[in-house]
Amino acid sequence: MNEIFNDTPNETPRRHFETIGSTNEAARNWARDGAPQGAAVTAAAQSAGRGRRGRSWVSPPGKGVYLSIVWRPDSQSTPGRFTILAALAMARVVQQISDKPANFKWPNDVLLNNCKIGGVLCEAEWKDGRIDFVIVGIGLNVQHESNDLPERPIFPASSLHLESGRDYEIEAVTQVCLEALKVLWDAYVRGEWPALKSEFEARCTGINELVQVATETEKYYGIARGIDEDGNLLIATSEGLRCVVAGDVSYDI
Ligand code: BT5
């Protein structure tokens, strides 16, 4: 089995796989078996990497960071916050290692030079009416060349390497990601959510612009006004203010 366990005392446990279906799936199974706060699953490649709403995440071997982490929040927390926190962590990583500022497209796209270089997939599991744990899945394109990436008409897919012209070592970037996620989690636990939410909002594309919202059941237009307490997107429509909990937002209208 191509699995490496790191159970060094005092270090957050991590399981690494050469190839796995989805790190989110492995982390969820581990969390059900009692994985502690911050436990991490990484892989060099995913054969069934997933995005939101049944979409897939292209995960070629040795090119990107494919990482899922177990967070065990308190009962006050709502799942939407963790997508924002994880995206923010990724933006800080991008800034730190490329010296370029990253932006976001609500809720989970990490953009560099208006290209999608990363995505977050948070999946919460509930027990007795409260969140038991959240799996925070991170995909960050690091060394991809153009032919490693899927076609995307708007916010095209790209990588840190393509956008910065630099070369990166995947394990080193993974370590920076793990540290950034820990820093964000610690700040969240200290009660800094309002400041973190504002940091995300300030770098979120489309705020105060006309956008189209597509949910599972409907499509509508409005002006994106900001992010609410729970990490949802607020849209001013002709019928009043609406709150998007889950959906896709587009600006090409
Ligand atoms: C996401 O979904 O952006 C969430 C991606 C999360 C991936 C991580 S990898 C580790 C962990 N384990 C998993 O199984 N998943 C997580 P969404 O917003 O639905 O975007 C998906 C869309 O992005 C696809 O339909 C493609 O258009 C595009 N896409 C797929 N792979 C991409 C890539 N590597 N880079 C940029 N865009 C990609």
Would you list the domain boundaries of the chain? 3-203, 210-250
Length of the chain counted residue by residue = 253
The β-bridge partners of 103 are 111
* Rounded CA separation 182/198 (Å): 19
* Rounded CA separation 85/148 (Å): 27
* Rounded CA separation 184/193 (Å): 9
Beta strands in 48-157 (DSSP E): 64-71, 103-105, 109-112, 115-127, 130-141
Asked if residue 58 has its Cβ within 6 Å of ligand 1, the reply is yes
Give the pLDDT of residue 153: 83
Asked if residue 116 has its Cβ within 6 Å of ligand 1, the reply is yes
Q: Give the mean pLDDT per block of 10 residues along the chain (253 residues).
A: 54 93 98 97 98 94 98 89 96 96 94 97 92 97 96 93 96 97 96 96 92 90 93 92 88 62
Give the pLDDT of residue 145: 96
CA of 9 to the centre of ligand 1 (A): 33
For a pocket test of ligand 1, which of 19, 23, 57, 146 has the largest count of ligand atoms closer than 8 A to its C-beta?
57
Question: Which residues are within 8 A (CB) of 187 and not within 5 positions of it... i.e. 6 or more apart?
Answer: 195, 196
Which tokens belong to 15? 């399981």
* Rounded CA separation 113/88 (Å): 16
Give the pLDDT of residue 247: 82
Give the pLDDT of residue 1: 39
- The answer to whether 3-203 and 210-250 have equal CATH topology is no
> What class has domain 210-250?
mainly beta
Give the pLDDT of residue 75: 80
Which architecture characterizes domain 3-203 according to CATH? 2-Layer Sandwich (3.30)
Nearest CA residue ID for atom 7, ligand 1 = 139
